[in-house]
Amino acid sequence: MVAFATVEDLEALLKTTYVGADRVQVEKLLEAASGHLRFVIGQDVYPVTTTTYTAYPTFGREDLPQWPVVEVVSVQRDGVDVKFTYRPGFILVANDDPVDVTFTWGVAEPPAELNRLTCVLAAQALQMFESTGALSVGGLSSLSIDDFRAAFADGGAETGVALSPHAEKSVKRAFGRGDVIVMEAYT
pLDDT tens digits, 66-92: 989 999 999 999 999 999 999 999 999
Residue 4 banded pLDDT, cuts 50, 70, 90: very high
In the predicted structure, residue 129 carries a pLDDT above the cut 80: no
Q: For residue 138, how far is the Cα from the chain centroid? A: 24
- Output the pLDDT for position 145: 57
Show me where the domains of the chain are located: 7-44+111-175, 49-105
Stretch among 18-32, 33-47, 86-100, 169-183 having the lowest mean pLDDT:
169-183
pTM score of the predicted model: 0.74
What is d(CA 19, CA 52) in angstroms, rounded to the nearest whole number? 39
Determine the Cα–Cα distance for residues 21 and 59; give it in Å rounded to an integer.
54
**pLDDT beyond 70 at 135:** no
CA 35/CA 69 separation, integer angstroms: 20
User: What per-residue confidence (pLDDT) applies to 178?
Assistant: 53
For residues 153 and 142, give the distance between their C-alpha atoms in angstroms, rounded to a whole number: 9
Percent above pLDDT 70 for the chain: 77
Q: Which of 3, 11, 2 is nearest to 123 (CA)?
A: 11
51 vs 131 pLDDT, higher one: 51
List Cβ neighbours of 106 (8 Å cut-off, separation of 6 or more). 44, 45, 46, 47, 48, 49, 66, 68, 70
